[in-house]
Amino acid sequence: VNRDITLFMSIRKVALTYLMFYLGLIGLFPMKEAVFDIPMPSAIVDQFSDVLSRGQKVLAHIAHFLMMNRLLFWHLQRRGIKVVVFVLNNEKNFAVADRYNVDGIMTDFPSRLAKYHSDNRECSGSKVGESSQILGKEDE
């Protein structure tokens, strides 16, 4: 086993993590992964609002409420697991992610994210701006 390779949680492991969290058993759940990466449901609604039905939008907002949980993120971070959300491409979504104190944001527009963090450095709760590494494809 190469310990230099960063392990991301699989979809199955993410689902199990949420299940254990909501059952109150998260502290007993073993985790060897270093990154908990999830989509931010409200960003999906923003990106596809013109094609989603009202029911799909309601489901996405319920998913956002269940998935974007500060206590879960705090617990994972205390265990040394980075919390990363994807794919956020506008300032509104960057601000939402900032409020959850995530460790990373995946974006298609890293220059927008860098500008957001430089403009909002004093009020940012997120650790994203601390890293010099921003992953994503650049604005064209």
Mean local confidence (pLDDT), 5-19: 96
Select the more confidently predicted residue: 122 or 41. Answer: 41
The pair phi, psi for residue 45, each rounded to 5°, is -60, -45
Amino acid residing at 90: N
> What is the tens place of the pLDDT at every residue in 60-113?
999 999 999 999 999 999 999 999 999 999 999 999 999 999 999 999 999 999
Percent of the chain beyond pLDDT 70? 86
Mean pLDDT value across residues 24-44:
95
pTM for the model: 0.83
Tokens 């094609």 belong to 51
- DSSP lists the bridge partners of residue 38 as 85
- Looking at the DSSP bridge assignments, the partners of residue 36 are 83
